[in-house]
């Protein structure tokens, strides 16, 4: 067999079977321990001592003592997980303790049948044999794994703490990574070495890149908060270096760190935004033991809402979606973590089907309704305005009317920032739905109608960030509609907490908004994603770059800047991160009359007449394109 192939097979065995590695090392150590005793006896007596005359208790005692001392000093554990100088120092300490023990027993006290000088000769020979065995194993199994340095990913570890040091040790056996050193912003550590690897100054990253050559920085500070992490990432981005990071402390759960723990930056980290901490001011007892209906339950918002509502212990959870696949998927996930006090009822259907929705309400009589079912993709609704209005406006009307008829306690509409001074049909349809609920609340003696309005949810279907990430992975240009376009972002967790909290805060007719911080410039976000993925931006200044950003132009109905308020006078609530929008709404008679007309024109497929009504009802509506088929 080819020697190279044999070495690779030995390395794979050594790498993948931890228990076998430990057993192998124990056997090697016991063998060397006994062999060194026999060699010592030969050197002392000048002939091979017969095995049957050798005191067996001394052989057993020396072997067991060596293994126990090695276990106490974590020699088998450390030599398998680490391979740096620390491991050899630890091995030296263990051998010293063993040498002292044998010297004391054999030389100072004395053992019948064993020359006293064996306590010295044996320990010296064993020490050299053990060290030689470890160096040989490292050369045979460790160094063969290293491959060609020039072809490996050259990495620096940001953070010289415990996590960084553990990560450094795991890299030593990596076939793909070449570990060049540490980087840290603690000046007291800069210039020192760990396992002969220098700790560089984080403020000199540009110089380090030039002199050392870096492909990737591994961020190994699990306790780092998002604000500090954002500062570090911005500095790394300036130098156009790729980044991978370890999970947070809670995600690691005190386990040993490995290369498998490294992951790309998540969306929140890319944005450099600390998620808003929304703590429930009430325990949301209104959900407990209630019958809850969630429409659009298979969507990105609806599915997360299902999870959180289930934790509030409703007596029955009705999940409704028009997509068979989405409904099946969320139902399977929910029944796997089923709360046995909650009955889960999956229903396939459209909120626009009045008869089907009537059947749901008459049969199950839901107390709480979260209405997330909507067509939300601006270009698609812009191209199909009639269906968009039928679903988003009149689907909402059907569910709201039934909630009133069957005396539900609460109805929460999932709305959008695109409803504010809309420039597209999707935004206008959501504002119409808000207006209808506000008018309905006036004549509602028991049912509380409320709306929750927020911006883009990170990672949701159609979100730009997953799209950009996929384009970068495939080496394709990033497509962006406009260089100046900005958006508000929030996490799914924030969105769901806002929705559930709104049910507690609602008095009727409310429009709730979340403090979402500053809007994000999407062009800057795209550049950051390119650089932190280890790619370069291809533009006129760098025509040989990796990824180009192509500006395609605003899509029909798309805004440059989104808003969350129509009037700039939000009212604080008991939760300092949630505000109540103080906005005008129309009288019930006006809404009823105009909705009847819109319904009539929908059936007649006359969008231009519908748009005239929308302009009267929705403040600031300016549709950017009118290429619709009558």
* 528 belongs to the catalytic site: no
Reported confidence tier of residue 336, pLDDT bands at 50, 70, 90: confident
Q: In this structure, is residue 223 part of a structural domain?
A: yes
Domains identified in the chain, total number: 3
> Same domain for 139 and 155?
no
Among 160-164, 280-284, 608-612, the range scoring the smallest mean pLDDT is 280-284
The yes-or-no verdict on residue 2 having pLDDT over 90 is no
* Tens digits of residue pLDDT in 359-386: 999 999 999 999 999 998 888 999 999 9
> Same domain for 397 and 415?
yes
Q: Report the run of H or E that residue 75 belongs to, with start and end.
A: helix 75-81
State both tokens at 103: 């010297």
The yes-or-no verdict on residue 527 having pLDDT over 80 is yes
106-115, 433-442, 534-543: which has the highest mean pLDDT?
Answer: 433-442
Number of H helices, E strands in the chain: 23, 22
User: Integer distance in angstroms from the first to the last C-alpha of the chain?
Assistant: 77
Do 25 and 67 touch, CB atoms closer than 8 A? no
> Same domain for 447 and 498?
yes
For 358, the domain range is 291-464+487-521+556-617
Do 599 and 390 touch, CB atoms closer than 8 A? no
Give the CA count within 13 Å in the CB-facing half-sphere of 540: 0
State both tokens at 394: 């009149």
> Same domain for 336 and 247?
no
Q: In this structure, is residue 311 part of a structural domain?
A: yes
Q: In this structure, is residue 479 part of a structural domain?
A: no
Do 456 and 488 touch, CB atoms closer than 8 A? yes
Q: In this structure, is residue 271 part of a structural domain?
A: no
| Residue written as token pair 């760990």 | 194
Do 447 and 411 touch, CB atoms closer than 8 A? yes
pLDDT of 528 reads: 82
> Same domain for 312 and 247?
no
> Same domain for 70 and 189?
no
> Same domain for 73 and 209?
no
Q: In this structure, is residue 624 part of a structural domain?
A: no
CB atoms within 10 A of CB 546: 14
Q: In this structure, is residue 480 part of a structural domain?
A: no
Task: Choose the final residue of a domain: 122, 145, 168.
Answer: 145
| CA-atom Rg of the chain in angstroms | 34
Q: In this structure, is residue 510 part of a structural domain?
A: yes
> Same domain for 501 and 356?
yes
- pTM above threshold 0.85: no
Among 280-284, 509-513, 600-604, the range scoring the smallest mean pLDDT is 280-284
The yes-or-no verdict on residue 443 having pLDDT over 70 is yes
The four Cα atoms 510, 516, 518, 520 give a dihedral, to 10 degrees, of -110
> Same domain for 195 and 302?
no
CATH of the domain at 246: 3.40.50.720
φ/ψ of 433, rounded to 5, equals -60, -40
Among candidate residues 418, 527, 528, 559, the one labeled active-site is 418
The yes-or-no verdict on residue 410 having pLDDT over 90 is yes
* Tens digits of residue pLDDT in 445-499: 789 999 998 877 776 666 777 788 888 888 899 999 888 888 877 777 778 887 8
> Same domain for 91 and 207?
no
**Secondary structure of residue 57 in the 3-state scheme:** helix
Q: In this structure, is residue 502 part of a structural domain?
A: yes
> Same domain for 382 and 418?
yes
Instruction: Give the list of residues 6+ apart from residue 99 with CB closer than 8 angstroms, or none.
Output: 123, 126, 127
> Same domain for 250 and 307?
no
Task: Choose the final residue of a domain: 126, 145, 164.
Answer: 145
């Amino acid at each position: 067999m080819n020697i190279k192939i044999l070495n690779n097979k030995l390395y794979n065995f050594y790498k993948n079977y931890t228990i076998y590695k430990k057993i192998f090392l124990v056997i090697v150590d016991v063998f060397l321990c006994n062999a060194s005793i026999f060699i010592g006896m030969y050197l002392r007596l000048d002939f091979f001592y017969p095995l049957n005359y050798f005191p067996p208790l001394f052989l057993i005692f020396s072997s067991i003592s060596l293994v126990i001392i090695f276990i106490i000093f974590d020699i088998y554990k450390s030599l398998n997980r680490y391979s740096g100088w620390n491991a050899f120092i630890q091995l030296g300490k263990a051998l010293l303790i063993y040498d002292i023990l044998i010297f004391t027993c054999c030389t100072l006290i004395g053992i019948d049948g064993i020359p006293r000088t064996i306590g010295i000769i044996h320990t010296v020979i064993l020490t050299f044999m053990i060290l030689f065995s470890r160096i040989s194993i490292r050369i045979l199994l460790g160094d063969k794994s290293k491959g060609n340095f020039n072809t490996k990913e050259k990495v620096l570890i940001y953070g010289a703490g415990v996590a960084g040091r553990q990560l450094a040790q795991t890299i030593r056996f990596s076939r793909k990574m070449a570990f060049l050193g540490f980087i840290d912003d603690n000046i007291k550590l800069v210039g020192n070495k760990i396992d002969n690897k220098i700790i560089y100054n984080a403020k000199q990253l540009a110089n380090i890149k030039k002199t050392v050559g870096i492909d990737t920085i591994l961020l190994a500070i699990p306790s780092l908060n998002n604000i500090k992490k954002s500062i570090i990432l911005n500095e790394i981005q300036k130098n156009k270096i790729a980044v991978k990071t370890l999970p947070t402390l809670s995600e690691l759960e005190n386990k040993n760190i490995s290369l498998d723990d490294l992951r790309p930056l998540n969306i929140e980290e890319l944005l450099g935004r600390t998620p808003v901490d929304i703590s429930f001011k009430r325990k949301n007892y209104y959900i407990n033991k209630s019958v809850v209906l969630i429409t659009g339950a298979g969507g990105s918002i609806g599915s997360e809402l299902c999870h959180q509502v289930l934790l509030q212990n409703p007596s029955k959870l009705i999940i409704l979606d028009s997509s068979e696949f989405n409904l099946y998927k969320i139902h399977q996930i929910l029944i796997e973590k089923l709360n046995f006090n909650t009955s889960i009822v999956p229903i396939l259907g459209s909120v626009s089907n009045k008869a089907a929705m009537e059947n749901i309400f008459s049969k199950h009589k839901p107390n709480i309704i979260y209405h997330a079912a909507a067509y939300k993709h601006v270009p698609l609704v812009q191209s199909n305005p009639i269906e968009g209005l039928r679903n988003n406006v009149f689907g909402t009307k059907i569910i709201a009317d039934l909630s009133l008829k069957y005396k539900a306690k609460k109805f929460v509409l999932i709305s959008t920032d695109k409803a504010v001074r809309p420039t597209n049909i999707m935004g206008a349809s959501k504002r119409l739905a808000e207006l209808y609920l506000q008018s309905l609340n006036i004549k509602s003696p028991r049912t509380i109608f409320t709306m929750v309005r927020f911006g883009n949810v990170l990672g949701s279907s159609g979100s730009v960030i997953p799209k950009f990430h996929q384009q970068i992975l495939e080496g394709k240009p990033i497509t962006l509609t406009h260089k100046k376009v900005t958006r508000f972002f929030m996490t799914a967790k924030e969105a769901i907490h806002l929705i559930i909290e709104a049910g507690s805060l609602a008095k009727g007719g409310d429009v709730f908004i979340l403090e979402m911080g500053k809007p994000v410039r999407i062009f800057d976000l795209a550049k950051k994603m390119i650089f932190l993925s280890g790619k370069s931006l291809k533009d006129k200044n760098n025509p040989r770059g990796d990824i180009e950003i192509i500006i395609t132009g605003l899509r029909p109905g798309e805004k440059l800047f989104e808003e969350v308020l129509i009037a700039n006078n939000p009212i604080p609530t008991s939760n300092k991160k949630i505000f109540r929008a103080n906005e005008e709404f129309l009288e019930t008679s006006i809404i009823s009359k105009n909705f009847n007309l819109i319904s009539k024109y929908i059936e007649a497929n006359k969008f231009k007449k519908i748009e005239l009504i929308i302009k009267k009802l929705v403040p600031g509506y300016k549709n950017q394109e009118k290429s619709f088929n009558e």
